[in-house]
Amino acid sequence: MVHCNDSATLMLSRFLASKASIALDWRAILAQLLVAAIGVSGVSAQDTSRQYTTSRVSVGVGVSSEATLAGVGSNLPKLPAGTQVEPQEDSDQEFNKVILLARPKIESGNVDALPDAIRNAVSSMVLSILAHVERDSSGKFRLVSVGAGFATPVEGELTVVTPDTAGDLGAKLGFVQRQLLGQNSKQLDTLPIVARSKQVLVFDAPSIMLTDGKHEKFRMRHFIWADSSTGRTATFVWLLPERSDAAGQQAGKLRWLPPGLKERREIHVDGREFSILGIPTDRAFALEDLPPGRDLDWTDEGRRLATKSSYGANDLKALVAAINASLAKTKQDR
């Protein structure tokens, strides 16, 4: 049974009923906050000192035509309820590699426009992206799958929960947290896979970014790779225009993330994007920046390939080569 925090409920009810407060539509707020939060972005709360080793992270991938296309066009799978998002090295659970754990925090802009109950609820849910990496019969590691979900503490462990399983798993969620969790599935259905091989998965996520003082819509592209020899993973992200058919579109900066990144995702509130009734538009909340990592220079070929709406075998192989070239240039510049 999901527990309801009566004091938080009462506080939210009083806030919404107060004539002295802006009449916020909290259901709309939660929906729009999730749109903002799903894009991988923010400022790191941990692991910012983690070292990169370019000599070891060469994104080699034997892309073959039969290995590229399974799953392309479908959405990223959802992590199973009950998955622990900080697995031990010897864990036998399906998703065994942390790609990203991101805890949203309403940090800047018109933060006073929101009640504490909503601000606290947003920070209680951790966006979790994990990979399933396994060794095959030949002894090589392969990237079986990548999944996304939202986690919250359950008996001291960050655990993936869904609206149907939170109570059974023992998650103690308040009223607003349950409403927030209820929106998760809708947002996790907007992460299309655009490339796939035995070692690589590329997917997009809708993102709203703070750009020159305004909230603008983008797609955040995520390139996730698993080393066939060691099973280690590497992740690269970049921004693209919201529409894949936009004329003259260009890829944003290429950023290489630390492995197993844990971040605090800072969200900006734009009070101009609320109606007189307190209803937020779809641009009311935005991420302040890309996740922390090391910026790499695109090659000309890499920048061209980075904007493609999907990848066949040859294009994916060329994109891998371009990212390797960017990594090699970084090593030379050190």
Q: Please tell me whether the overall predicted TM-score, pTM, comes out greater than 0.75 for this model.
A: yes
DSSP H or E stretch at residue 35: helix 26-38
Contact residues for 92 (Cβ-Cβ < 8 A; gap 6+)? none
Higher pLDDT, 201 or 243: 201
Instruction: Report CA-CA distances (Å) from 178 to 82, 127, 172, 245, 286.
Output: 17, 15, 9, 37, 22
Q: Where is pLDDT greater, at 176 or 97?
A: 97
- Residue pLDDT, tens place only, 61-78: 444 434 455 677 789 999
> 175-188 and 6-17 helices cross at what angle (nearest 10)?
80
For residues 194 and 186, the answer to whether their CB atoms sit within 8 Å is: no
Count Cβ atoms within 10 A of the Cβ of residue 248 and give its class: 0-12 exposed, 13-18 middle, 19 or more buried.
exposed
Indicate the domain borders of the chain. 6-333
Q: What angle, rounded to 10 degrees, do the helices at 26-38 and 175-188 form? A: 50
What 3-state class would DSSP assign to 202?
strand
Higher pLDDT, 214 or 72: 214
